[in-house]
Structure 1
């Protein structure tokens, strides 16, 4: 762009015989900003004029260039040596110039610059010259517009559109430069990759516009709160990366991660409300010898390790994490097709009538019997199934296997089957349930479908419609893990529910002493469920003391290790034939 200005200025001055010309640009505040773009025919004679111009500061609308920038029209001074508004009169006389003129350069209706020229003769408005200047301004405007467009494209290619922060491409360029400096200095650098906790729930519950505002607020908080030399980037979604260089050791990286956590703990203003934010942070340390992509991958691995430990925590990468990731990926690959290969096992955990200690129902649970490793804990393979997208296939297997075993269990006992978010998103889930019941000739009323509260935040209108469709099959609907953080009484009023299951954490609080708060909550929810005509189940009963207290609080149903651990389906059939727990447990519970 500067080259285009200089070329036009030279051609114009040479064509008209003008010894001096200069380019001005508008400042952000509307003032006039001098540039280094000049046409000087006699440098020795004009040096005083040039230096005086460089020292000059013009307010908005002042001077030849200022008037052209504000009005968008050419401005003239017949004799600058005699004009009191022209501050460089003495230097103009020394340079041998008399008349002065400035004309604007436009992009559309916007004035983006002004060219000031001087003549050895008096100057006055000249229609011929105005036409020439207009053509020059138009051509320059096109060059500038094209340049601005290219700059805009380049900016967008390297910056996140939502927050204006550097994107992945630009960050990796910064990382490469920082690594070169680290190799020379012997200092270390760190990548901090942070993922905002529970962002999807915020997005779904409050809307995407609020979610976007939160991301912008977090980006601004990080940009202003970190060190001036740190580079904050956004990788899309709810992930941010901070490049920290010039560190003496790894402890400094840990301190910067704590700084990030502190910044995020201070509430951010989003949509006229103050919201708390937490993030899981992974740290990768570099010395300049590793590939930038590898450093980023290690930070990502550490972030997921932090998230598995607890929300709002930090983990620093080490080699064992990479081995753990490799093992998880291998298991994820081997999990594909496990149902078709006959490696899945159905386990059933009893739900007991606490008044008479009789069997009321079974909750269906899935186990994976790996051909080499034996039973893989559900806490390991269920998240793998959710991440890989095969949870729907496994859920369908559990549903059909539960219906198959229900046909062999006493007709007074119902089976409760968990539905994942992925299954509930399936528009054919109602037909899948209906087909399973028909294939194994199980009355619909013997099947209860369990959903968790978090599912309800994933597009409530759509999920409500799916639940209504499931209820239309004749199956019952249970709300699982009630009281785990997103509870709302509106769920109980609006959803087509038949069963309410209280999270096991409430029973756990009754182990050591009678927690008055837990007791009050349990009694209240039990009464509420009864008033709404819902079955009420308390999970996690492990001691006879808990059982006695829950009975006293009016809880009708419960499940837990006190009665039985999850049983293989064939053992559950034997358990069901007695209609009550085994003799030893019966004596304890009585």
Structure 2
């Protein structure tokens, strides 16, 4: 008897569980019925609004109703079960809230891009949300927010309306009719299917929700609400096939956020995502009805602007850039960002979309090279320029690992006895075909990318290792980049190489330009002092071309001046003032206990003038071109015995400039 009671109790409990499971399933069924009923009502109401609203197009553009439109709105919110609505234009931007007319929208609300509205515009499918309003002020106990399209005269959507429907009575009716069915169905489920049926229902509901979520994820970028890359290409192709997109009348615009990585690194990825959303909203707020935009990855966006005049296109781009550049407050921090923009316009040839995007990307790349925060329109010559730039970048990036870098050495001469006293190490780089790339081309790129730091360390080590085998009186001179001072380890590297190769510090000369002292003054001062304390010679290169060279001479206590080649090459030209300038520079250097080197000497006349001025060291094609290591031994054997005599090399000037 006791066992029977247990079984009976178990059956009662199981039946009750099945009843509540059935009731839960019926609740879902009721909600679905309410949603279907609300969608039908909302679509009918949207048709009613479209046919009764005077000048609907103007209202969608301005969001400010006139007297007649206000009267229509007052009537509309009393039709059926509607108690409120929001109106969105053809771009998914909020333009009007029925019960907040006359009150300005909150800051940024008009530019906000509503994901549900945009989804309705793109798919035509309504978005329905059933809400419990029992704990909300001014809301029915149960209401529905239904996003449905607003049809135009031709039946196509001209906007979206979010209709608020009071479904309390409908819900009560459905529940009253279904309550008895819930009891019966609970027993039926218990007898016929039991737990497996409930599990099947739960699983099916999960699959439906998962499938819908996957579908949405496949179409929309979840951060910005714009199209993702796949849906962008799908929609563009669909519009092209339907005759709604003529690429010949479409501008392809590539947009990139300047220094977005710094925002992520400084403020975190959450803030970075919020800033991406800010940019997405800015783009959405300026889209026209026929335009198409997407976030295609990272901080890159693409926009197809259809049928725009040059002036309208300019207004679109500048409007987006201006909106983005306005400070946005994220987590209590005001962040300002800027955009680089590349544009491709039809230039003939019938190119496909991907080719046009490639050319817009080239224009964007050029905008970044010009300093960012600007817009560049593609021109045919850009293609060759950027292709060359990328070739050089590739050579720089893989230069060390592929052994494409090489040191050349140019002699420095003591005019007393024409004796070789040292060599300047000059960096050379070959591309993949073995052709040399001018230093004036690859050095700035290496500095910009930061590759100059490991490259500069390699140059230092190679120069010291090479000079170890030279006669003891010879030094090696190495140029330093401003970037090499950034991490504060330059002195450490120099000291380590001097120790590793047993190289005397007095035989190492390091050349810096005035740009270092301007850009890295806080980093450079102590490091230059530490290098001097090691016994290394510090030289100011290209002296005479800067703005504050005289002030830096005493402030940083240089050991040597290198006179810029432009002064040397002016000898014998004009009224002879160049000789006076050279005389002044050399005297100044000597007064400050510095040696002076003149570079760029190409003629016998230039050498003679500098010798009369007591310049300490000479350098230039007149005495020797930069040479690879393989030519060093023959050169040293020849010029360590015989006096150095050279023919004039007037034609060598251009070559020396190219040689760096």
Q: Which residue does 2:401 correspond to in 1? A: 337
499-508 or 384-393, larger mean C-alpha shift: 384-393
Task: Find out whether 1:405 has 2:466 as its counterpart.
Answer: yes
Deviations 1:88-138 (A, max 9, x none): xxxxxxxxxxxxxxxxxxxxxxxxxxxxxxxxxxxxxxxxxxxxxxx9879
Choose the corresponding residue for 1:359, options 416, 420, 424: 420
Task: Find out whether 1:565 has 2:625 as its counterpart.
Answer: yes
Q: Aligned pair count?
A: 419
- After superposition, the Cα gap between the structure-2 partners of 1:449 and 1:584, relative to the gap in structure 1 and judged at 3 Å, is closer
Local SS of the residue matching 2:561: strand
Contact map agreement 2:589 2:596 (CA 8 A) in 1 = yes
Task: Find out whether 1:533 has 2:596 as its counterpart.
Answer: no
Contact map agreement 2:599 2:618 (CA 8 A) in 1 = yes
Task: Find out whether 1:347 has 2:411 as its counterpart.
Answer: no
Choose the corresponding residue for 1:479, options 518, 526, 540: 540
CA RMSD of aligned residues (A): 6.5
Deviations 1:206-250 (A, max 9, x none): xxxxxxxxxxxxxxxxxxxxxx9x9xxxxxxxx9999987578xx
Choose the corresponding residue for 2:551, options 490, 500, 511: 490
Local SS of the residue matching 2:345: strand
Contact map agreement 2:480 2:511 (CA 8 A) in 1 = yes
Q: Which residue does 2:477 correspond to in 1? A: 416
Inter-partner Cα distance in structure 2 for 1:308 and 1:291: 24
Choose the corresponding residue for 1:446, options 507, 514, 521: 507
Q: Which residue does 1:583 correspond to in 2? A: 645
Task: Find out whether 1:396 has 2:396 as its counterpart.
Answer: no
Output aligned runs, 1:58-457, within 5 Å. 184=245, 187-188=248-249, 284-286=344-346, 290-291=352-353, 295=356, 298-299=359-360, 301-302=362-363, 316-317=379-380, 319-321=383-385, 323-324=387-388, 327-328=391-392, 330-332=394-396, 334-339=398-403, 344-354=405-415, 357-368=418-429, 373=434, 375-379=436-440, 381-383=442-444, 385-386=446-447, 389-457=450-518
Inter-partner Cα distance in structure 1 for 2:367 and 2:418: 42
Q: Which residue does 2:42 correspond to in 1? A: none
Deviations 1:460-516 (A, max 9, x none): 212222222222222111222334455443322322421222332333444754574
Inter-partner Cα distance in structure 1 for 2:594 and 2:626: 24
Local SS of the residue matching 1:583: coil
Contact map agreement 2:362 2:383 (CA 8 A) in 1 = no
569-578 or 559-568, larger mean C-alpha shift: 569-578
183-192 or 465-474, larger mean C-alpha shift: 183-192
Alpha-carbon offset, residue 447 of structure 1? 0.4
Q: Which residue does 1:83 correspond to in 2? A: none
Contact map agreement 2:543 2:549 (CA 8 A) in 1 = no
Deviations 1:288-337 (A, max 9, x none): 96547x65653453576699999999972465456545644553464241
Local SS of the residue matching 2:509: strand
Inter-partner Cα distance in structure 1 for 2:252 and 2:610: 50
Inter-partner Cα distance in structure 2 for 1:396 and 1:570: 22
Deviations 1:570-590 (A, max 9, x none): 5334444535764334999xx
- After superposition, the Cα gap between the structure-2 partners of 1:245 and 1:472, relative to the gap in structure 1 and judged at 3 Å, is farther
- After superposition, the Cα gap between the structure-2 partners of 1:247 and 1:464, relative to the gap in structure 1 and judged at 3 Å, is same
Alpha-carbon offset, residue 566 of structure 1? 0.6
Local SS of the residue matching 2:469: coil
Inter-partner Cα distance in structure 2 for 1:284 and 1:346: 42
- After superposition, the Cα gap between the structure-2 partners of 1:585 and 1:316, relative to the gap in structure 1 and judged at 3 Å, is same
Contact map agreement 1:467 1:496 (CA 8 A) in 2 = no
Q: Which residue does 1:127 correspond to in 2? A: none
- After superposition, the Cα gap between the structure-2 partners of 1:462 and 1:584, relative to the gap in structure 1 and judged at 3 Å, is closer
- After superposition, the Cα gap between the structure-2 partners of 1:194 and 1:417, relative to the gap in structure 1 and judged at 3 Å, is farther
Inter-partner Cα distance in structure 1 for 2:358 and 2:568: 41
- After superposition, the Cα gap between the structure-2 partners of 1:295 and 1:371, relative to the gap in structure 1 and judged at 3 Å, is closer
Choose the corresponding residue for 1:462, options 511, 517, 523: 523
396-405 or 504-513, larger mean C-alpha shift: 504-513
Inter-partner Cα distance in structure 2 for 1:188 and 1:427: 54
- After superposition, the Cα gap between the structure-2 partners of 1:333 and 1:307, relative to the gap in structure 1 and judged at 3 Å, is closer
Inter-partner Cα distance in structure 2 for 1:524 and 1:315: 49
Normalised by the size of structure 2, how large is the TM-score?
Answer: 0.46
Local SS of the residue matching 1:335: coil
- After superposition, the Cα gap between the structure-2 partners of 1:540 and 1:186, relative to the gap in structure 1 and judged at 3 Å, is same
Q: Which residue does 2:184 correspond to in 1? A: none
- After superposition, the Cα gap between the structure-2 partners of 1:40 and 1:186, relative to the gap in structure 1 and judged at 3 Å, is closer
Which structure: greater helix fraction? Answer: 2
Task: Find out whether 1:502 has 2:566 as its counterpart.
Answer: no
Deviations 1:505-539 (A, max 9, x none): 333444754574x5555444333322322222232
Normalised by the size of structure 1, how large is the TM-score?
Answer: 0.51
- After superposition, the Cα gap between the structure-2 partners of 1:428 and 1:315, relative to the gap in structure 1 and judged at 3 Å, is same
Q: Which 5+ residue runs of structure 2 have no aligned equivalent?
A: 1-69, 81-100, 104-134, 141-222, 260-287, 292-299, 318-339, 651-660
- After superposition, the Cα gap between the structure-2 partners of 1:247 and 1:349, relative to the gap in structure 1 and judged at 3 Å, is farther
Local SS of the residue matching 2:473: coil
Alpha-carbon offset, residue 417 of structure 1? 0.8
Alpha-carbon offset, residue 413 of structure 1? 2.2
Inter-partner Cα distance in structure 2 for 1:459 and 1:403: 25
Contact map agreement 1:575 1:581 (CA 8 A) in 2 = no
